Structure 1
Amino acid sequence: MLITRRFFPYFVTQCLGALNDNIYKNVLLLLVTYSQVNELPISVNMFVNLAAGVFILPFFLFSAHAGMVADNVDKAMLIRRLKLIEFIIMSCAAVAILSQSYLVMLLLLFLMGTQSAYFGPVKYSLLPQTLKENELVTGNAWVEMGTFISILVGTLSAGLIVASDNSLVAASATVVTLAAIGYLSSRAIPALPPQGKIEKIRFTPLSGTWRSIAKVRQTPSIWMAILAISWFWFLGATYLTQFPNFAKLHLHADATVVSLLLALFSIGIAVGSWICERVSYGHVELGVIPFGVLGLTVFGVDLIFAIPPAPVDLSTVYSFSTFIAASQHYRVMADLFMVGLSGGLFIVPLYAFIQSRAEKGECAQAIAANNIVNAFFMVTAAVLSIVLLGLLEWSIPQLFLLLAALNTVVALYVYSQVPEFAQRFVSYILSHVMYRVNVTGREHIPAQGAGVIVCNHVSYVDALIIMGSSTRPMRFVMDKSISEIPLLKYLFRHAGVIPICSPKQCEKTYEQAFEHIHQALNNEELVCIFPEGRLSADGDIAEFRPGIERILAADPVSVTPMALKGLWGSYFSHKGGHALTTRPKRFWSRVEVNIGETVNGVELGRHGLHQQVSELFERKS
């Protein structure tokens, strides 16, 4: 995928954009900070803080409009125009750098922030259009790796450029050259026309921002994903901002160690993104997010306890080489790397989730709303740091400890609001820790529209295993007694399980089940049913009951057959006694989920569907 034309030119283009942004921004800040500019009408500290605000302001003003534009024009054409604008801005910036016109450079920084605000939505909304579903997580992982490595290289390169003998010429040549190469690479991106209905684009900065946020809030799962991503940017912005003083005051180190801390954090995010791609097994996997949450908290707390005692000689200042040579610093370095790695595990699935769940033709607008909220959280992080460190005189370790504690609170809030996240985590644990689940035919699950999944019923955790085999949520119809098992009741209830029982047990529950199935199919949802009506008593597939035919008679939707293999004999099956009563005997055993092609269930009837599932069950791996 990486070297294909549909991805590689875009990947190079976005990496060069992130690299150029950071080189220009940091060159400006370093020139102002270390050149002791006297002609500035404001202080250096005020200029530095103003520059940070000037770069982020366009994300509030223009992101909503940027999302509308990206959803309603050819994305490749839009990227080329944005890269051409970048080249023009950087050409002007080269002149401003050479003439040392710092206020002009500040204005150009605002324009670069504006260009970035327009590039952000198209950068992420392009992926679900050009990549296959099983490539979406991989694509996001590469984008996050590329972005953070570019930020790191850009930040370090700016320092080297400013420290060089011909710093002004080197800086000017670098930003123009990178912009030119970025434009050339963008020309190789294949056409990507708008997917949805083309709407009239209106430029309404403030009202458009509120409308953009209000629109994504209508989909709670996407809104919670945006809040979770924004929390990471809150946390990351706080860490990155405090690294210089943290290194100086608590690690007794110089500026070279600040670069080391930045490198550890950024490389950690890149590695975490790569690991996320490996453990997601080719599909959007929300189940890995709790591992990222746990890492952000555990390693964030451990970082505080890892701070070594002050050196005996208080005049000691560690350089890069002496810092890494001292073993008491290894734990600090490991914790910072792991905080970054945990962040990579945390955000990659969330970006992929937004892309996969947003309506076609509206993905860029969802990303735009995400960028707006991200910017707000980063500004809030700066304000909180000023209040706690300045007014309340907290220490930086205390601030970091607060971040770790708040991370747990934010995670609990998000998981309480979107139970699907918790369900996916339990499903992931079952599929990859308790069992080794292998899924074949995942592409046969309908990507959109109503549909029925029919599957054999082997154990109490069948629904959770099936849930993990599909990136699309589905409703499960299951025996009422199973849906009320104490340990699983919470998950099943919030998964929208439809309880059913025989009409002899409860006529009302029986009829309500069919009504709920009808409503779900009318809502274009996927419904999974176990036509046997009960758990297998011997591991074989029992006769399908007439309920499936009643469902299809009312709603003749497509049917996808599925078969579970390997769960018979597990703790959750009836082999050797009633499920959940025997001693667990198997761990990490192999389980297969075989998914067949979509069929016409009305024509096949329950006996034909039974044959389809049986053939999948008997298929040799």
Structure 2
Amino acid sequence: MSQFDLLGQRRFAPFFWTQALAAFNDNAFRNALVMLVAFQMGLDDRSVSLYTNLAPALFILPFFLFSATAGQLAEKYEKTRIIRAVKLFEIAAMALAAIGFHTHDTTLLLVVLFLMGVHSTTFGPIKYAILPQALEPGELVGGNGLVEMGTQLAMLVGMIAGNSLMLVAGIGPWLASSATIAVAVAGYLASRRIPPAPATAPGLKFNWNPFSETARVLGIVRRDRAVFNAVLGISWFWFFGTVLIAQLPNYTRETLGGDGSVNTLVLTLFSIGTGVGALLCERMSGRRVEIGLVPLGAFGLTVFGVDLYLARHGVAQAHGLDWRAFLHGAGSWRVALDLTLIGVFAGFYVVPLFAFVQARTPREQLSRVIAGNNIVNALLIVLAAGFGLGLGALGFDAVETFLAASLLNVAVAAYIFTLVPEFPMRFITWVLVNTLYRVRVEGMRHVPEEGPALLVCNHVSLMDPLLLMANLRRPARFVMYYRIFDMPLLRFVFRTARAIPIAGQKEDPAVLAAAYEAIDEALAAGELVCIFPEGALTRDGDIAPFRPGLLRVLERRQVPVLPMALRGLWGSVWSRRDTRLGRARLPRRFRARVELVIDAPVSPGRLQLDALETRVRELRGTLA
């Protein structure tokens, strides 16, 4: 099923439109307010500067004050009821905004801006916590991609609409008011169609102190190191994006020599790029939560951020160009491509991180973790504003600020990936497997979403663990021959994946005993463990007799056993089949088509070793 099929299903579509309309209204109102203050109230430059700098601060302040409380609400109560209450709140806020637009009451409009910040703060923890309740695990990446795409495009259209409607001579305030109220009402009506999303922690004891609760929420976020660093990665995305978007008006005017239409064009390119990148994540990840895309995204942000500086810097030769004249200028298409690809790689970067947080965090804590994420996001957005202002005070122009952020991205990404080696490990695995093979998976539904299981698979090539690692929806611990575990090129991947080295009784009894202990501990902790019961790579393409070691595992820990088979690997990269030359074991087939077939679990009490071997042979079939 395509991710776009979700847009026709009630379990996703009403929520998608509710959040997209909310993103539209946030940006339409904020931009209409800026246009009113800057162009229609006759204020001096100092007053305009005060209001335009105060506005973002007022919008972001509720994220610091109320995110922790919003996270508790989303855990303790049924989520759709909260969403509908939030949408009614939005209608009331937009009605107040209409009064402010018509009376030019800036104080009232700033109050409304604060209220819209409260609206976004309350909606935020629900926005991402509701997806794992509504979607299947295999739909999580695609659903997040659609949400990110919808948010980016809604923000873009909202910015354009807010600017354009308010600037219509004579009736701008009326048009802006009507549009924002109508969109708020439409959002409420869409929310009425969202299916119930039960409370995940109904027994949660509510803490009304926002400061102590904020500290507690941040403590929950930090419990899982990988989740915490994913949150840092998401917040860095907001830092990078804030720096980019804040500098675009000056970049458009000073470096590109463009007018407002060029500013709209560059915003459009970035937003469309981010939406495209978000949608591509599902296809590139094979509908799994693939954090291997995150280093790829970080790499692209830096490469195309640097190239944006190289494409054009300094003061433009001509000024006041509209978007058509700009695109006809020398080098403009390179600038346009860089901006679009920055957006694409931003999508590769942020969507897997959100899906990772959702998949890794216990359901009863997810809303609070998202609330903690929003607090850290808000902090990084404030730091981004200070970063831009600070570099501006030092004499940096907009494109030099882009360059500084792009280079800083290298240091931040390296820091995060050093703290959590799982990110670069998954990237290496994803690149290797997708470069060398074309994989089709059948029977993924049989892999349990939680709890322990013993996976049993035939062993054809040295790449078998990486193939399984890249295609199983859940992380698994692989039991592998200790000499393969210590291979120089792949040692980092296997150690980071917490593979379990094993040796024969005659080779190293201590390693063998430690392996059985590690397997039992992993299963006791609810993890998946994968065993290759043949004990070695096949030498002739056939499946060797299964060794009884897995029965020893099941004697200690009764867990379900999942038979699996790899097809089509014999003769591919790093299998033991000779080439036609007969002199070296080199691959016959590059980009081989291979298959992973997973069967229904077998109860350990009914398992017989011969029957299990026969079943794996049947799954493998004749396609060795």
- 1:90 matched residue in structure 2: 94
Deviation digits for residues 318-357 of structure 1 (CA, Å, limit 9, x no counterpart): 1222112224311111111111111111111111111111
- 1:506 matched residue in structure 2: 508
Question: Which of these residues, 272, 285, 288, is aligned with residue 283 of structure 1?
Answer: 288
Aligned-partner residue type, residue 20 of structure 1: N
Deviation digits for residues 52-107 of structure 1 (CA, Å, limit 9, x no counterpart): 00001111111111111112211111111111111111112212221111111101
Question: Which of these residues, 135, 139, 153, is aligned with residue 149 of structure 1?
Answer: 153
- 1:398 matched residue in structure 2: 400
Unaligned runs of 5+ in 2: 1-5
Deviation digits for residues 434-465 of structure 1 (CA, Å, limit 9, x no counterpart): 10011111111111011111111111111110
Question: Which of these residues, 458, 466, 472, is aligned with residue 460 of structure 2?
Answer: 458
**Worse-matched range after superposition: 598-607 or 31-40:** 31-40
2:83 counterpart of 1:79: yes
- Structure 1 CA distance for aligned equivalents of residues 60 and 259 of structure 2: 28
* Count of residues in correspondence between the two structures: 616
Contact 1:571 1:580 in 2 (8 A): no
Pair 1:511–1:269, CA change in 2 (3 A): same
Tell me how far 1:308 sits from its aligned partner: 6.4
TM-score with structure 1 setting the length? 0.96
Deviation digits for residues 287-307 of structure 1 (CA, Å, limit 9, x no counterpart): 222332221111111101111
2:13 counterpart of 1:8: yes
Tell me how far 1:39 sits from its aligned partner: 10
- 2:344 matched residue in structure 1: 341
Question: Which of these residues, 228, 244, 264, is aligned with residue 239 of structure 1?
Answer: 244
- 1:554 matched residue in structure 2: 556
How do residues 314-325 of structure 1 correspond to structure 2 at under 5 angstroms?
A: 316-325=319-328
- Structure 2 CA distance for aligned equivalents of residues 36 and 227 of structure 1: 41
- Structure 2 CA distance for aligned equivalents of residues 383 and 112 of structure 1: 23
- 1:600 matched residue in structure 2: 603
The percent of aligned pairs where both chains have the same amino acid is 42
Deviation digits for residues 540-586 of structure 1 (CA, Å, limit 9, x no counterpart): 11111111001111000111111111222123122228x99633332
Contact 2:571 2:587 in 1 (8 A): no
Aligned-partner residue type, residue 608 of structure 1: A
How do residues 14-413 of structure 1 correspond to structure 2 at under 5 angstroms?
A: 14-38=19-43, 43-165=47-169, 166-196=171-201, 198-307=203-312, 316-390=319-393, 392-413=394-415
Aligned-partner residue type, residue 65 of structure 2: L
The alignment partner of 1:362 has SS state of helix
- Structure 2 CA distance for aligned equivalents of residues 62 and 263 of structure 1: 32
**Worse-matched range after superposition: 225-234 or 246-255:** 246-255
- Structure 1 CA distance for aligned equivalents of residues 351 and 432 of structure 2: 21
Unaligned runs of 5+ in 1: none
- Structure 2 CA distance for aligned equivalents of residues 224 and 310 of structure 1: 39
- Structure 2 CA distance for aligned equivalents of residues 608 and 75 of structure 1: 48
Tell me how far 1:426 sits from its aligned partner: 2.4
- Structure 2 CA distance for aligned equivalents of residues 527 and 305 of structure 1: 49
**Worse-matched range after superposition: 129-138 or 414-423:** 414-423
**Worse-matched range after superposition: 286-295 or 167-176:** 286-295
Tell me how far 1:167 sits from its aligned partner: 0.8
- Structure 2 CA distance for aligned equivalents of residues 411 and 616 of structure 1: 42
**Worse-matched range after superposition: 410-419 or 462-471:** 410-419
Contact 1:563 1:593 in 2 (8 A): yes
- Structure 2 CA distance for aligned equivalents of residues 611 and 196 of structure 1: 45
**Worse-matched range after superposition: 226-235 or 29-38:** 29-38
Aligned-partner residue type, residue 328 of structure 2: A
- Structure 2 CA distance for aligned equivalents of residues 319 and 106 of structure 1: 32
- Structure 2 CA distance for aligned equivalents of residues 409 and 253 of structure 1: 32
- Structure 1 CA distance for aligned equivalents of residues 474 and 414 of structure 2: 23
The alignment partner of 2:348 has SS state of helix
Deviating above 6 A after TM superposition, structure 1's stretches of 4 or more consecutive aligned residues are: none
Aligned-partner residue type, residue 599 of structure 2: G
- Structure 2 CA distance for aligned equivalents of residues 291 and 317 of structure 1: 37
- Structure 2 CA distance for aligned equivalents of residues 81 and 157 of structure 1: 26
The alignment partner of 2:364 has SS state of coil
- 1:531 matched residue in structure 2: 533
2:438 counterpart of 1:433: no
**Worse-matched range after superposition: 198-207 or 526-535:** 198-207
Contact 1:549 1:602 in 2 (8 A): no
- Structure 1 CA distance for aligned equivalents of residues 26 and 314 of structure 2: 38
Aligned-partner residue type, residue 531 of structure 1: P
RMSD of Structure 2 on Structure 1 (CA) = 1.9
Question: Which of these residues, 450, 473, 480, is aligned with residue 448 of structure 1?
Answer: 450
Contact 1:426 1:464 in 2 (8 A): no
